[in-house]
């Protein structure tokens, strides 16, 4: 009986000790696979709110459903703006893809940030054209708006409000419509203030995603 009792601990734990002594790195890998994902939510860093870079003026445009949208309608909302035109064959698809990615990330985390696409070709991009473009790219109308309007109103908002360059509509050598415009994503806070310009590549998408959360947090703290 004593021999069996002496041997029992070896049966229960000896193999584990031997395995650890022979292959300690496997235990390190296993520990990392379990421990790192568990603590990752605790180590996420939301950066400080970006500085205020300007104030949007009053504006009045129309969305893809034909409804009026003014600056007052977006008060109290943190939003991200981009600028495209639906017949653009070059940079606009990349900018729209960035907005699609943001829509996915914001929706997955249930973050209340709105997306607003403003056409720089309002003479062609009517509400109906924008509605078709929005549907093509899977835009959720509760999260992502598409705006058009009078040419002068759009031009003033882009150049004076967003402080971005905007070229004339022309036909290039390939026979395609070309309008020089910014490809930046712009972060706007609930007071209509410009909070930064971000590239539409993967790094820019990630940065504006986190910066938008910091602006949201800033607004919540201001209310308490």
pLDDT tens sequence across 170-211? 888 777 889 999 999 999 999 999 999 999 999 999 999 999
Helix (H), strand (E) counts: the chain: 7, 10
Average of per-residue pLDDT across 128-137: 98
List pLDDT tens digits, range 46-75.
Answer: 678 899 999 999 999 999 999 999 999 999
Distance CA 70, CA 57 (A): 10
Average of per-residue pLDDT across 148-152: 98
Q: What is the residue-averaged pLDDT of the chain?
A: 87
Is the CB of residue 216 less than 8 Å from the CB of residue 111? Answer: yes
What's domain 54-223's architecture? 3-Layer(aba) Sandwich (3.40)
> What are the sequence ranges of the domains in the chain?
2-43, 54-223
- Strand 113-119 relative to strand 54-55, pairing: unpaired
List pLDDT tens digits, range 90-100.
Answer: 899 999 999 99
* pTM of the complete model: 0.79
Exposure of 89 in the CB half-sphere (CA atoms within 13 A): 7
Tokens at residue 60, please?
Answer: 């009045």
Quote the pLDDT of residue 5: 47
């Amino acid at each position: 009986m004593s021999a069996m009792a002496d041997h029992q601990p070896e049966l229960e734990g000896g193999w584990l000790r031997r395995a650890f002594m022979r292959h300690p790195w496997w235990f390190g890998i296993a520990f990392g696979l379990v421990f790192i994902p568990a603590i990752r939510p605790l180590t996420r860093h939301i950066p400080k709110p970006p500085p205020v870079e300007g104030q949007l003026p009053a504006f009045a445009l129309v969305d893809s459903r034909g409804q009026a949208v003014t600056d007052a309608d977006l008060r109290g909302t943190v939003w991200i703006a981009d600028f495209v035109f639906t017949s653009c064959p070059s940079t606009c698809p990349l900018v729209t893809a960035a907005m699609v990615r943001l829509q996915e990330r914001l929706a997955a985390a249930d973050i209340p940030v709105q997306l607003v696409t403003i056409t720089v070709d309002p003479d062609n991009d009517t509400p109906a054209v924008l509605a078709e473009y929005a549907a093509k790219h899977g835009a959720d109308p509760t999260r992502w708006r598409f705006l058009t309007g009078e040419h002068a109103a759009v031009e003033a908002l882009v150049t004076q409000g967003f402080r971005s360059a905007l070229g004339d509509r022309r036909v290039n050598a390939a026979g395609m419509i070309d309008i020089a415009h910014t490809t930046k994503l712009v972060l706007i806070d609930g007071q209509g203030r410009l909070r930064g310009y971000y590239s539409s590549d993967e790094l820019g998408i990630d940065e504006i995603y986190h910066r938008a959360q910091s602006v949201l947090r800033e607004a919540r703290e201001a209310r308490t």
